[in-house]
């Protein structure tokens, strides 16, 4: 293998770079792993030198240039007073570092292991620009790339965009990306991958509901378990562009980068601009393969949450702005009684914040609502054995606030004209060092003076006309990086505090914000019917332990849909579980049932937060099948979810994918989610396999013939537990509780941690566990 070719390979993926100079390298192959001698690969895949724009072969690079004959979207756009708008970079060095990362345990994280890396440096002496490109192929098979551009001449180079391109093969005929809005984030849309340019631009100043999220190119009719897919994610929390381009001369690519506003980045001599990381994945196993690679990558990070994800009770939909110590103390006791481990006080605790029209920016505890401060409530929460969390929105400011009256020049604006308000608020210019220092000090003081383990960090408006007051220059780029610095510095000073990224619900979900936070809030909509799709597609990128998922009240506040507890809880456990419901007004039966669901989550979070997420491809649109299979194949949980009424009566069968084909499994309903037929009596008879005895089949049969789906009312869930059995038919002992990485011994059957408060009915339910069911006798009533 000569110096003209560089080959990186990991986890069944190969990246081959054609480094024949003097121009920037091109990607000769990105996809399924190659082996053997590759000396002639570049000859084998070279196109015929039939040129139209230029004589010879056009070789689009990682940053395509017009000087190569490329007349599609340029990888770099900018100018120096109308000049240097076209570049011809010449490579000055290529440095490769191949890590010795060995072979990971099947399905397990590669914690602390390094990636194979390549750094390409190049220069254009005429345009007076230097360019570097970093490529990393992680042991999970995730590829990421970024570029950096430096101006080397006097004056200013005005950058319009720097975009990284990765080619995909012609057999990719379909595109998948995402759209949505508040309360309906990340819903898929599919289009044909035809000639031309598809551009998804996010101009909201935050990741946005309507971001591409993941841009996937795949073979015909790809699905969860089939098809070959190439996927790209632009990891940036401000403006971003995602591109799919196909040209008539046989070149197709996905690309990503930051979307810059006019005049936003001007490089003086010696100054450097760096792009966001662009993450890319190849999967030969459908969308589940894409998710598996991203999840393994994220779980291998040294800072990935390592302790079990605590059950959260959030006060927002319970009390809104009505903060009262007696009421919140009662709510905290009810929370502890059902097994909560973290209690989060939401909006309304500070300044003049009695509604959403005032107070943002005044980050001091309100003496009117909390005359004795937050200490009494925190003491109650901590004495009940729970962590205390607090809601903040540091990037925003209400015009009706002491801060705005004292520092109107800290509000982002296009010179002297303020943007129109949204939710009665404006954006605080954190690129202003004084505003930045003020917020860092106020948050630091809160964390120092109070026993706070968790911040729910919100961001409740788009950035409209977000400029720097005084100059009026566009400031989304500066604001985004200032927020990153603020989060980084705050975490460095308070390393034990966890932070959630919330942005009008799920408006800021990306891998850059997840480098600095411990979970994302998927949506303000906690209607379980809507959450099925929201969580399903959020988890294509983000593993379940990082997705906030709450059990709401029987009547959903955002949709007014009324759903039983089994549906609300049976969908919420597929994430980082929380409760957002006024438990002080819930009846005893509901609390007993809720406690059983919390106990189940605690038993299974070690599985759910370390295992492989899988989905069945079903012909019946009324059903969803989601599962998590343990890394060693010993245990699994599946949810059979009816989101509508099936056209088949009774419904057909569904595969249980991802199991070890050669192992035998005990398959049975999982209490308390074992209501097999919506209401078994209503249909006259239970489904034959839906008994505590269940069935025993090997993984190959379950993944092929599958199980008969139950007759379910719409918006119902049936949980199915699948446990490997040994030759003597004794179930393999599986872990019940574990941190994000590693396991501990499970509790003995029928036991649970005793609640510190509440009546004996809830405690008794925890002790009983979920041994009873609709099949074997009613244990709890539906709420």
More confident site: 228 or 756: 228
Q: Which residues of 718-732 are buried (b: 16+ CB within 10 A; e: fewer)?
A: bbbbbbbeeeeeeeb
Distance from C-alpha of 666 to C-alpha of 661, rounded to nearest angstrom: 13
Distance from C-alpha of 657 to C-alpha of 668, rounded to nearest angstrom: 16
Domain match, 287 and 348 both: no
Catalytic residues: 458, 524
β-strand 157-162 against 76-79: which pairing, if any? antiparallel
Query: What are phi and psi for residue 737, nearest 5 degrees?
Result: -135, 130
Distance from C-alpha of 588 to C-alpha of 582, rounded to nearest angstrom: 13
Comparing CA positions, the residue from 195, 264, 194, 202 lying closest to residue 233 is 202
Q: What is the mean pLDDT of residues 175-192?
A: 98
Which helix (H) or strand (E) element contains residue 531? Answer: helix 528-538
Comparing CA positions, the residue from 514, 521, 586, 577 lying closest to residue 551 is 577
720, 668 Cβ separation under 8 angstroms:
yes
Domain match, 104 and 237 both: yes
376, 325 Cβ separation under 8 angstroms:
yes
Domain match, 348 and 230 both: no
Judged by DSSP in three states, 125 sits in: coil
Q: What is the mean pLDDT of residues 32-51?
A: 91
Among 250, 274, 299, the domain boundary falls at 299
Domain match, 29 and 174 both: yes
**pLDDT tens profile 546-578:** 999 999 999 999 999 999 999 999 999 999 999
In a domain, 570, yes or no: no
Output the pLDDT for position 49: 85
Distance from C-alpha of 432 to C-alpha of 417, rounded to nearest angstrom: 18
- Pick the range with the lowest mean pLDDT from 485-489, 579-583, 765-769: 765-769
Distance from C-alpha of 283 to C-alpha of 694, rounded to nearest angstrom: 34
Q: Which residues of 643-654 are buried (b: 16+ CB within 10 A; e: fewer)?
A: beebeeeebeeb
- Taken in order 421, 425, 431, 435, the sign of the CA dihedral is positive
Judged by DSSP in three states, 340 sits in: coil
Output the pLDDT for position 648: 93
**Res 729 pLDDT > 60:** no
Give the confidence band of 726 by pLDDT, cuts at 50, 70, 90.
confident
β-strand 454-457 against 498-501: which pairing, if any? parallel
258, 236 Cβ separation under 8 angstroms:
yes
* Residue 677 tokens, joined: 């037929």
Structural domain containing residue 726: 613-768
Domain match, 470 and 337 both: yes
Output the pLDDT for position 686: 77
**pLDDT tens profile 124-152:** 999 999 999 999 999 999 999 999 999 99
Domain match, 642 and 763 both: yes
Output the pLDDT for position 99: 77
Task: Identify the burial level of 45 via C-beta atoms within 10 angstroms of its C-beta, where 0-12 means exposed, 13-18 middle and 19 or more buried.
Answer: exposed
DSSP E strand boundaries for 272-410? 272-274, 278-283, 312-314, 342-345, 387-392, 396-397
Give the confidence band of 677 by pLDDT, cuts at 50, 70, 90.
very low
In a domain, 774, yes or no: no
Output the pLDDT for position 778: 29
Q: What is the mean pLDDT of residues 41-70?
A: 90
Please name the residues in contact with 534: beta carbons below 8 A apart, sequence gap of 6 or more: 184, 185, 186, 187, 506, 522, 523, 525
**pLDDT tens profile 391-444:** 999 999 999 999 999 999 999 999 989 999 999 999 999 999 999 999 999 999
Judged by DSSP in three states, 593 sits in: helix
Among 274, 299, 324, the domain boundary falls at 299
Judged by DSSP in three states, 408 sits in: helix
**Res 589 pLDDT > 50:** yes
In a domain, 304, yes or no: no
- Pick the range with the lowest mean pLDDT from 42-51, 371-380, 508-517, 722-731: 722-731
Domain match, 17 and 89 both: yes
* Residue 256 tokens, joined: 């990503």
**pLDDT, averaged across the chain:** 91
DSSP E strand boundaries for 252-338? 252-258, 265-267, 272-274, 278-283, 312-314
Judged by DSSP in three states, 437 sits in: helix
In a domain, 780, yes or no: no
Q: Which residues of 770-782 are buried (b: 16+ CB within 10 A; e: fewer)?
A: bebbbbeeebbeb
β-strand 454-457 against 312-314: which pairing, if any? unpaired
**pLDDT tens profile 455-493:** 999 999 999 999 999 899 999 999 999 999 999 999 999
In a domain, 764, yes or no: yes
Most distant CA atoms of the chain, gap in Å: 84
Give the confidence band of 56 by pLDDT, cuts at 50, 70, 90.
confident
Distance from C-alpha of 697 to C-alpha of 659, rounded to nearest angstrom: 11
276, 234 Cβ separation under 8 angstroms:
yes
Give the confidence band of 357 by pLDDT, cuts at 50, 70, 90.
very high
Output the pLDDT for position 98: 84
Judged by DSSP in three states, 480 sits in: helix
Q: What is the pTM of this model?
A: 0.93
Distance from C-alpha of 28 to C-alpha of 5, rounded to nearest angstrom: 9
Please name the residues in contact with 379: beta carbons below 8 A apart, sequence gap of 6 or more: none
Task: Identify the burial level of 103 via C-beta atoms within 10 angstroms of its C-beta, where 0-12 means exposed, 13-18 middle and 19 or more buried.
Answer: exposed
Distance from C-alpha of 254 to C-alpha of 280, rounded to nearest angstrom: 9
Output the pLDDT for position 59: 85
Question: In this structure, what CATH number is given to the domain that contains residue 165?
Answer: 2.70.98.60
Return the residue matching tokens 């070959």.
228
Comparing CA positions, the residue from 440, 430, 538 lying closest to residue 482 is 430
Residue 90: other Cβ atoms inside 10 A: 12
In a domain, 590, yes or no: no
419, 464 Cβ separation under 8 angstroms:
yes
Judged by DSSP in three states, 118 sits in: strand
Domain match, 379 and 283 both: no
- Pick the range with the lowest mean pLDDT from 440-444, 718-722, 751-755: 751-755
Distance from C-alpha of 375 to C-alpha of 324, rounded to nearest angstrom: 13
Distance from C-alpha of 411 to C-alpha of 428, rounded to nearest angstrom: 5
Query: What are phi and psi for residue 693, nearest 5 degrees?
Result: -75, -30
Output the pLDDT for position 107: 47
Comparing CA positions, the residue from 452, 422, 421, 424 lying closest to residue 349 is 452
- Pick the range with the lowest mean pLDDT from 259-268, 468-477, 525-534, 762-771: 762-771
- Pick the range with the lowest mean pLDDT from 291-300, 430-439, 473-482, 749-758: 749-758
Give the confidence band of 734 by pLDDT, cuts at 50, 70, 90.
low
Distance from C-alpha of 641 to C-alpha of 752, rounded to nearest angstrom: 27
Q: What is the mean pLDDT of residues 530-538?
A: 98
Domain match, 692 and 643 both: yes
Among 521, 548, 578, the domain boundary falls at 521
β-strand 229-234 against 278-283: which pairing, if any? antiparallel
120, 110 Cβ separation under 8 angstroms:
no
Output the pLDDT for position 249: 80
Question: In this structure, what CATH number is given to the domain that contains residue 735?
Answer: 2.60.40.1180
In a domain, 744, yes or no: yes
Distance from C-alpha of 550 to C-alpha of 552, rounded to nearest angstrom: 6
**Res 687 pLDDT > 90:** no
Residue 66: other Cβ atoms inside 10 A: 17
Question: In this structure, what CATH number is given to the domain that contains residue 426?
Answer: 3.20.20.70
Domain match, 184 and 63 both: yes
Which helix (H) or strand (E) element contains residue 137? Answer: strand 129-137
**Res 756 pLDDT > 50:** no
| Percent of all residues in the chain with a pLDDT value above 70, rounded to a whole number | 89
Q: Calculate the dihedral angle through the C-alpha atoms of 330, 331, 332, 334, rounding to the nearest 10 degrees.
A: 90
**pLDDT tens profile 696-712:** 999 999 999 999 999 99
Distance from C-alpha of 182 to C-alpha of 304, rounded to nearest angstrom: 28
Domain match, 227 and 318 both: no
Domain match, 168 and 62 both: yes
| Percent of all residues in the chain with a pLDDT value above 90, rounded to a whole number | 85
**Res 592 pLDDT > 50:** yes
Quickly list H helices, 609-694: 680-683
Residue 440: other Cβ atoms inside 10 A: 17
In a domain, 331, yes or no: yes
Output the pLDDT for position 48: 86
87, 150 Cβ separation under 8 angstroms:
no
Give the confidence band of 50 by pLDDT, cuts at 50, 70, 90.
confident
**pLDDT tens profile 235-262:** 999 999 999 999 988 899 999 999 999 9
Rounded to a whole number of angstroms, the CA Rg of the chain reads 27
Comparing CA positions, the residue from 192, 176, 320, 299 lying closest to residue 242 is 176
276, 236 Cβ separation under 8 angstroms:
yes
Total domain count, the chain: 3
Output the pLDDT for position 733: 52
Total residues found in the chain within this entry? 783
**pLDDT tens profile 79-117:** 999 999 999 999 999 999 987 544 444 444 454 558 999
């Amino acid at each position: 293998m000569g110096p003209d070719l560089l080959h990186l390979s990991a986890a069944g993926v190969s990246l081959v770079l054609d480094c024949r100079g003097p121009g920037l390298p091109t990607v000769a192959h990105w996809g399924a792993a190659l082996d053997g001698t590759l000396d002639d690969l570049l000859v084998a895949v070279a196109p015929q030198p039939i040129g139209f724009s230029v004589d010879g072969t056009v070789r689009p690079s990682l940053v395509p240039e017009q000087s190569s004959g490329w007349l599609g979207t340029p990888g770099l756009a900018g100018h120096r007073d109308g000049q240097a708008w076209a570049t011809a970079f010449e490579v000055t060095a290529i440095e490769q570092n191949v890590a010795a990362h060995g072979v990971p345990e099947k399905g397990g994280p590669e914690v602390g292991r390094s990636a194979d890396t390549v750094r390409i440096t190049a220069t254009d002496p005429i345009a007076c620009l230097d360019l570097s490109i970093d490529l990393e192929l992680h042991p999970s098979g995730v590829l990421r790339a970024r570029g950096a551009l430096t101006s080397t001449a006097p004056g200013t180079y005005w950058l319009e965009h720097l975009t990284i391109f990765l080619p995909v093969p012609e057999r990719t005929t379909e595109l998948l990306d995402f759209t949505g809005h508040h309360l309906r984030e990340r819903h898929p849309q599919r289009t044909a991958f035809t000639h031309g340019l598809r551009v998804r631009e996010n101009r909201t100043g935050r990741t946005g509901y309507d971001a591409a999220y993941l841009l996937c190119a795949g073979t015909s009719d790809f699905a969860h378990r089939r098809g070959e897919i190439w996927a790209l994610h632009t990891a940036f929390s401000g403006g971003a562009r995602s591109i799919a381009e196909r040209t008539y001369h046989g070149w197709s690519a996905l690309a990503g980068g930051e979307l810059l506003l006019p005049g936003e980045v001007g490089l003086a001599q010696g100054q450097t601009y760096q792009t966001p990381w662009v993450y890319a994945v190849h999967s030969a196993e459908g969308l589940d393969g894409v998710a598996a690679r991203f999840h393994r990558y994220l779980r291998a990070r040294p800072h990935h949450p390592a302790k079990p994800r605590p059950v959260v009770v959030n006060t927002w939909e319970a009390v809104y702005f009505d903060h009262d110590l007696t009421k919140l103390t009662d709510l905290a006791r009810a929370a502890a009684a059902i097994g909560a481990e973290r209690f989060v006080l939401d909006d309304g605790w500070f300044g003049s914040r009695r509604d959403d029209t005032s107070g943002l920016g005044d980050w001091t505890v309100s003496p009117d609502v909390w005359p004795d401060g937050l200490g009494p409530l925190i003491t109650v929460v901590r004495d009940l054995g729970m962590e205390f969390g607090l809601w903040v929105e540091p990037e925003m400011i209400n015009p009706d606030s002491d801060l705005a009256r004292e520092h109107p020049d800290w509000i982002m604006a296009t010179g002297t004209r303020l943007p129109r308000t949204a939710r009665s608020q404006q954006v605080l210019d954190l690129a202003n060092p004084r505003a930045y220092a003020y917020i860092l000090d106020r948050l630091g003081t809160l964390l120092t003076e109070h026993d706070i383990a968790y911040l729910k960090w919100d961001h409740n408006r788009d950035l409209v006309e977000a400029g720097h007051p005084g100059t009026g220059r566009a400031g989304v780029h500066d604001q985004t990086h200032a927020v990153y610095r603020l989060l980084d510095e705050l975490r460095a000073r308070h390393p034990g505090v966890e932070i959630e990224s919330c942005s009008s619900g799920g408006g800021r979900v990306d891998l850059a914000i997840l480098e600095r936070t411990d979970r994302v809030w998927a949506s303000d909509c906690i209607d379980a019917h809507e959450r099925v799709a929201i969580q399903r597609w959020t988890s294509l990128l983000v593993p379940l332990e990082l997705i906030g998922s709450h059990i709401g009240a029987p009547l959903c506040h955002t949709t007014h849909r009324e759903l039983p507890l089994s549906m609300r809880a049976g969908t919420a456990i597929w994430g980082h579980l929380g409760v957002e419901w006024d438990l002080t007004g819930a009846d005893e039966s509901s609390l007993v049932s809720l406690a059983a669901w919390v106990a189940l989550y605690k038993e299974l979070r070690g599985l759910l937060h370390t295992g492989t997420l899988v989905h069945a491809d079903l012909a019946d649109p009324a059903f969803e099948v989601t599962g998590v299979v343990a890394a060693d194949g010993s245990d699994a949980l599946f949810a059979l979810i009816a989101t509508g009424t099936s056209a088949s009566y009774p419904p057909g069968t569904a595969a249980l994918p991802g199991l070890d084909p050669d192992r035998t499994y005990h398959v049975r309903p999982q209490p308390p989610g074992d209501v097999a037929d919506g209401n078994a009596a209503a249909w006259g008879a239970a489904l034959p396999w839906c008994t505590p005895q269940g069935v025993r089949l090997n993984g190959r049969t379950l993944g092929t013939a599958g199980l008969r789906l139950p007759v379910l009312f719409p918006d119902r869930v049936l949980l199915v537990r699948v446990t490997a059995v040994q030759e003597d038919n004794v179930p393999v002992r599986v872990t019940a509780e574990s941190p994000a990485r590693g396991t501990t011994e499970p509790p003995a059957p029928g036991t649970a941690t005793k609640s510190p408060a509440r009546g004996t009915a809830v405690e008794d339910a925890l002790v009983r566990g979920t041994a009873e069911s609709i099949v074997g006798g009613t244990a709890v009533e539906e709420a």
